[in-house]
Amino acid sequence: MEAAEKNVSNKKLISFRIIKKASEGDIQAINEVLKHYEGYIANLSIRKMYDEYGSVHYCVDETLRRRLETKLIKTILGFKIKR
């Protein structure tokens, strides 16, 4: 249990203030959320490509990356905070 708690405390979380501002449509806050998930989105967007010689290359599929970013923005804007 202690190891799991250490993992959570080592990760930087998005502050409530940023989440609230992003859900209200603040562009800078939305960009901060996108920046926070930038690495994760890039990792999800990696695809295996083959060149004309049959060699394998891994690269970020920009179309997929943009689609994931757009989906995240849409989700942020639809997020409702209840108290």
For the chain, how big is the Rg over CA atoms in Å? 17
Residue type, 43: N
pTM of the model: 0.77
Domain ranges of the chain: 12-78
In this predicted structure, the answer to whether residue 75 has a pLDDT above a threshold of 90 is yes
Q: What is the pLDDT of residue 9?
A: 52
> What are the tens digits of pLDDT across the range 4-35?
555 555 578 999 999 999 999 999 999 999 99
**List of residues 6+ apart from 36 with CB closer than 8 A:** 12, 14
> What are the tens digits of pLDDT across the range 23-69?
999 999 999 999 999 999 999 999 999 999 999 999 999 999 999 99
